[in-house]
Amino acid sequence: MTPDGTVTLLLAGDVMTGRGVDQALRQHVPPQLYEPVVDDAREYLRLAEAANGPVGTPLAPHEPWGAALAQFLAPDLDARVVNLETAVTAGGAPWPHKGIHYRMHPANVDVLTVARVDVCTLANNHVLDWGRDALRETLATLHAAGIATVGAGADA
């Protein structure tokens, strides 16, 4: 906060570290997907490589951010808030009758901490992709990493 009370926020929507991104990181969940067309998350990596060249896995935690990382690391920010469209869990079962399920292995939470994310909003259509226990694991993982959460929790 500046002396005049100005607060500078970085607000980022729809940060999705699941599916193909998780598969490119050092630790990942099983690649099985439950989508109508693609049933293996590694297919998203193959598509990215076909369009852009080799990805080179495993990616370091800062690499999925690309050029956006510089914005997150700007020294004048008071808080960085992202809408995390990904459960952070190694377990759970895919929510029945839902077409797309995002999740990132908890060991990859450094993808968020390297960008100095302060708060993850979880009020979105992917927070329960892997069930209630996965939500609890998401909350515990984020909190252990020093990242606050809003929009979903253990109770109302």
pLDDT in tens, 4-63: 889 999 999 999 999 889 999 999 999 999 888 999 999 999 999 999 999 888 999 999
Record the tokens describing residue 81, joined without a space: 């808030």
Reported as a single tens digit per residue, the pLDDT across 121-149 is: 999 999 999 999 999 999 999 999 999 99
Closest Cα partner for 115 from 70, 66, 72, 146? Answer: 72
Note whether 126 and 87 are within 8 A (CB): yes
Closest Cα partner for 139 from 129, 130, 126, 127? Answer: 127
Across the range 103-124, mean pLDDT stands at 98
Strand, helix or coil at 148? strand
Reported as a single tens digit per residue, the pLDDT across 70-97 is: 999 999 999 999 999 999 999 999 999 8
pLDDT, residue 52, reads 93
Q: Can you give the residue ranges of every domain in the chain?
A: 9-18+60-150
pLDDT, residue 2, reads 80
pTM of this prediction?
Answer: 0.94
pLDDT, residue 21, reads 94
pLDDT, residue 136, reads 96
